[in-house]
Amino acid sequence: MKTASAVLFAGVAAASKAYTTIYPCPDCPTSLAPPACTVTKQYQPVSTCSVYGKTTSCSTYAYVSTVLSDYDGHNYTVTKTDQPVTVYHTTSTITHTELGYATPSAYATGGYYNANGTSSGAPYPATPYATPTKIWNEKYEKYEVVPYNEMGPHALPGYGGSHLCGEKCHGPDKIKYQPKEVKECYGGKCATYAYIATYGVPKPSVTTYATPGIYTISSYDMTIADPTTMPAEATYVAHSGEAVTYGGMTTSVDKPTTITAPYAVYTTKSKTVTSTIIYTTYVCPHAGKYTVVKPTTTSYSTEHTLVYPTTTEYLAGVYHHTKETVTITKSNEPYTCHYHDSSVYPTTTPAPYGTTSVSKDSYPTGSSTSSAAYPDPSSDYEEPAENYGTPYAGYVKRGGMLERRKPVVKAAAPKVNLNKRVILV
Please report, in tens digits, the pLDDT of each residue of the chain (425 residues total): 444 444 443 333 334 467 788 888 888 888 888 888 888 888 889 888 888 888 888 888 888 888 888 888 888 789 888 999 999 899 988 887 876 655 554 444 444 445 555 555 555 555 555 666 678 888 889 999 999 999 998 888 888 889 898 888 888 777 888 999 999 998 888 889 888 887 877 767 778 888 888 888 887 777 776 666 766 667 778 888 888 887 777 778 888 888 777 776 666 666 665 656 677 788 888 898 888 888 888 888 888 887 777 777 676 777 777 788 888 888 888 887 776 654 443 443 333 333 333 444 434 444 333 333 334 433 444 444 333 343 344 444 444 444 444 454 444 545 544 444 444 43
Are 191 and 173 contacting, i.e. CB atoms less than 8 angstroms apart?
A: no
Are 60 and 113 contacting, i.e. CB atoms less than 8 angstroms apart?
A: no
- What is the residue type of 331? S
105 and 121 Cβ atoms separated by less than 8 Å: no
**372 part of a folded domain:** no
Q: Are 216 and 195 members of one domain? A: no
**Helix (H/G/I), strand (E/B), else coil: 133:** strand
Residue 420 lies in a domain: no
**What is the spatial distance between Cα 219 and Cα 11, in angstroms, rounded to a whole number?**
41
Those residues whose C-beta lies under 8 Å from the C-beta of residue 230, and which sit 6 or more positions away, are 201, 203, 277, 311, 312, 313, 314
Last residue of a domain, one of 172, 199, 226: 199
Q: Looking at 199, 234, 254, which one is the last position of a domain?
A: 199
Q: Give the integer Cα–Cα distance in Å for 295 and 228.
A: 23
Ramachandran angles phi, psi of 173, nearest 5°: 55, 40
Judging by beta carbons within 10 Å of its beta carbon (0-12, 13-18, 19+), is residue 161 exposed, middle or buried? buried
337: left (phi over 0), alpha (psi -120 to 50) or beta: beta
Q: Are residues 178 and 240 in the same domain?
A: no
0.75 exceeded by the pTM? no
Contact at 8 Å (CB) between 307 and 235?
yes
Strand partners, 319: 222
Give the start-end residues of each E strand in 110-212: 123-125, 129-147, 176-186, 189-199, 205-209
DSSP assignment of 205-216 equals EEEEESS-EEEE
Domain annotation covers residue 247: yes
Contact (Cβ atoms closer than 8 angstroms) between residue 186 and residue 138? yes
Q: How many domains does the chain have?
A: 3
Same domain flag for 222 and 351 = yes
Q: Is the dihedral of CA 380, 386, 388, 391 positive or negative?
A: positive
Rounded Cα gap, residues 89 and 104, in angstroms: 48
SS3 call for 67: strand
Give the model's pLDDT for residue 340: 66
Residues 324 and 277 in one domain: yes
CA end-to-end span of the chain: 106
* Same domain, residue pair 225 and 190: no
Q: How many C-beta atoms surround the C-beta of residue 266 within 10 A? A: 13
Assess if residue 9 is contained within a domain: no
- Calpha distance 361→290 (Å, rounded): 11
Neighbour tally for 366: CB within 10 Å:
13
Mark whether 143 and 215 lie in a shared domain. no
Asked if residue 94 and residue 45 are part of one domain, the reply reads no
Distance, CA of 257 to CA of 287 (rounded, Å)? 8
Rounded CA-CA distance 354/254 in Å is 13
Report which secondary-structure segment, H or E, holds 267. strand 257-269
Other Cβ atoms closer than 10 A to 221 = 17
Does some domain include residue 190? Answer: yes
Is residue 187 located within the same domain as residue 327? no
In a domain, 370, yes or no: no
Residue at which a domain ends, from 199, 228, 255: 199
Q: In angstroms, how far apart are the furthest CA atoms of the chain?
A: 140
Tell me whether residue 340 is in a domain. Answer: yes
Residue 28 and residue 93 share a domain: no
Structural domain of residue 323, as residue ranges? 211-359
Residues 165, 223 within the same domain: no
Long-range contacts of residues 66-69, Cβ cutoff 8 Å, at least 24 apart = 66/6, 66/7, 66/8, 66/9, 66/42, 66/148, 66/162, 67/6, 67/7, 68/4, 68/5, 68/6, 68/148, 68/156, 68/159, 69/3, 69/4, 69/5, 69/6
User: Helix or strand or coil: residue 401?
Assistant: strand
Same domain membership, residue 336 and residue 290: yes
Collapse the DSSP code of 415 into the 3-class scheme (helix H, G, I; strand E, B; otherwise coil) and give the result.
Answer: coil
Does some domain include residue 404? no
Q: Closest Cα partner for 34 from 18, 50, 16?
A: 50
Note whether 52 and 135 are same-domain residues.
no
